[in-house]
Structure 1
């Protein structure tokens, strides 16, 4: 049995006394009545204490915190509402308190199930709120799901998507960010094969691993080099007691996070060093930006082992989808069945997770979909994160997606 999770829990427990002492020290040096508070020494001690606290903290699931948006030039309050739910995931709708002269397109954002919570796409949701009826998948942390709820594998994931599409349709538009590009297009292919009238009108695939043989990245090469047995032996562990999902076999979020951090270790070290200097210099605004980013980035969730291992095997090792070998519930996932759902592929020029061409492959593999229902956009100067967040995403990518949806949103009405 892999005891990584138990050791991880034990490490947090053993650090508790040090965290308490650090918290007391920081409060002491932050106290305005302390004469050392305004000195360089006092700020240095306080900054060191905060960095220790932040690098040893267990980050909980963040809130979306989207309270208002601007629709048709008017400020509107935003509230969250659950519109679909099953044990391993739910869909949250962002309702806007505004009267519209005409309906706006429905947009379901499918968040990645790859270690981070759906709130990582807060900026994505915020960018589309003024012009779309936005919903997002909110996947469950596997350690919080009791064993009695059963398994959740890649077939289940696709089943969930099909159920969502049918419930939230008709005229649904789907946007898949990174990992879900494969199950989203697989779900659409199965619905198209069955001529399902609730097949989404459009699907936008962003930085997704449709064919990882194209421009393979370090992530892709590692999967092929190690093979599925290595991942099962080194990455799978059991949820320890004290969680609802006790003894569930999972790929823990902290291992996923450590892998992402290791890919850009120097960048993360420099970012924390910069934050330390900002705190010492009294630059609160810069330090706050750092806090906001890492509060989100360091909040992670566990994945069921069966879903994780199947994804690695089918997507990154065997390349089943582009080879035409992928099955869902023993039925073929034939991308040539897609004839009605318009597809857009978006990639980042500097993406080091999903290389250039991997998402574009979706357009090449859907040869029975007419060219006027396909669109490709390569965004210069952005990496993986910049494909779905940041200033270039808002200024250049969002308008193109909006125009694509507008042009094709009604194509599913004629059956």
Structure 2
């Protein structure tokens, strides 16, 4: 049995006394009645203590913290409500207290968050950008270490089962946005629904930076998975949840493994960011330090994935390339992209994406020959990487408006030619 999770927990608990001492020291050197607080020495000690505490902390699940939005020029309160729930996922609806019915129809959107190590709150900016013009829901995947063994397994097939149930529960006038990893299961769920003639097929699906065909413009992440194969990941990355959690003894791919991989890809940048924060604290530059805190509070919050889901995804998407080769199966049934005839597809990619290379998401449009051309749209956003595809200034200014226009077009009879030219 792999004991890496046990050692990780042990190290965390062994650091508890040192963390407590750092907190106490920081309180002394930030105390306004302590004259040393206002000296370079005092600020340096306080900054060092904060950096130690932050780099050894176990970050919990963040909050969405979206209390309001502006709908057609009117400030509107927003409350969160769980509208669908299963052991491994719940769907959160962002309910807007509209003071009057909107003048223009506002499409209903389900944002399918990635189940790749971070919480759904990573898409806070995505939801915030959509709220003024849409009824927004999001999948809130549950940390696998918090799900008891009696809840059963959760693999890629179960993931697709969940999606089909959601689409049927919230459809048929539903638009789906899949960010990165869920692009493949969302595409597969729609294909299976159309092939079987199920009710509730979404009106459209927008796939953003998704690994539909990782043979196109393969990135370092894609190559690593293809070279090592699922067996290597099973031997080296799968462990069990230690005692102390509801999911004790469940086999998982731990979030801290995924975080280590993400950090390792851009280690110099993260080290520089932390050094810069230390200097901001010493200089008493509170605004710059707060921006760092906000980003890393989210980035360092990670969750575990079930082993079966992780390994099946690696094998199906990155090793076998089953979907673009026409070989992917959902349970025992073949996933046929050609069955998609009604659900419109928009593919969004980032020019500098180092996770899902350019062309990988575009493949979804090439795989659906029986879907009318006027129900397909592609947008390549210049100057953004993977994160910028679904968050940031260019997302808000360029990508989100195009997605919204696409959904409006697919709900009505408007042609997409203007959208295509704009993209």
TM-score range relative to shorter protein: over 0.9
Partners of 2:70 and 2:340 in 1: how far apart?
Answer: 36
3-state SS in 2 of match to 1:27:
helix
Q: Find the counterpart in structure 1 of residue 95 from structure 2.
A: 95
Is 1:400 matched with 2:402? Answer: yes
Q: 1:67-121: per-residue Cα shift (whole Å, max 9, x none)?
A: 0000010000000001100000010000001122454100000000000000000
CA contact (8 A) 1:209 1:315 kept: yes
Q: Find the counterpart in structure 1 of residue 58 from structure 2.
A: 58
Partners of 1:340 and 1:394 in 2: how far apart?
Answer: 28
**Alpha-carbon offset, residue 410 of structure 1:** 4.3
Q: 1:165-200: per-residue Cα shift (whole Å, max 9, x none)?
A: 000112000000000000000000001111223100
* CA RMSD, 1 decimal: 0.8
Partners of 2:147 and 2:137 in 1: how far apart?
Answer: 23
3-state SS in 1 of match to 2:133:
coil
3-state SS in 1 of match to 2:36:
coil
Is 1:135 matched with 2:131? Answer: no
CA contact (8 A) 2:72 2:102 kept: no
Is 1:74 matched with 2:74? Answer: yes
1:370 to 347, 369, 372: 372
Is 1:304 matched with 2:301? Answer: no
Partners of 1:371 and 1:44 in 2: how far apart?
Answer: 61
Partners of 2:411 and 2:306 in 1: how far apart?
Answer: 35
Gaps of 5+ in 2: 414-423
Deviates more, 1:122-131 or 1:99-108: 99-108
Q: TM-score, normalised on structure 2?
A: 0.96
Partners of 2:293 and 2:95 in 1: how far apart?
Answer: 28
How many residues were matched structurally?
411
Q: Find the counterpart in structure 2 of residue 360 from structure 1.
A: 362
Partners of 2:401 and 2:146 in 1: how far apart?
Answer: 38
3-state SS in 1 of match to 2:85:
strand
Q: Find the counterpart in structure 1 of residue 32 from structure 2.
A: 32
Q: Structure 1: which 4+ aligned runs deviate by more than 4 Å?
A: none
Partners of 1:170 and 1:199 in 2: how far apart?
Answer: 6
Cα 1:47–1:330 change in 2 (3 A) is: same
Partners of 1:101 and 1:347 in 2: how far apart?
Answer: 31
Partners of 1:168 and 1:90 in 2: how far apart?
Answer: 13
Q: Find the counterpart in structure 2 of residue 191 from structure 1.
A: 193
Is 1:120 matched with 2:128? Answer: no
Q: 1:22-78: per-residue Cα shift (whole Å, max 9, x none)?
A: 011100000011111011111111111101000000000000000000001000000
Q: Give matches, 1:340-351, under 5 Å.
A: 340-351=342-353
Q: 1:131-151: per-residue Cα shift (whole Å, max 9, x none)?
A: 000000000000000000000
Partners of 1:229 and 1:398 in 2: how far apart?
Answer: 39
Q: Find the counterpart in structure 2 of residue 201 from structure 1.
A: 203
**Alpha-carbon offset, residue 298 of structure 1:** 0.3
CA contact (8 A) 1:171 1:410 kept: no
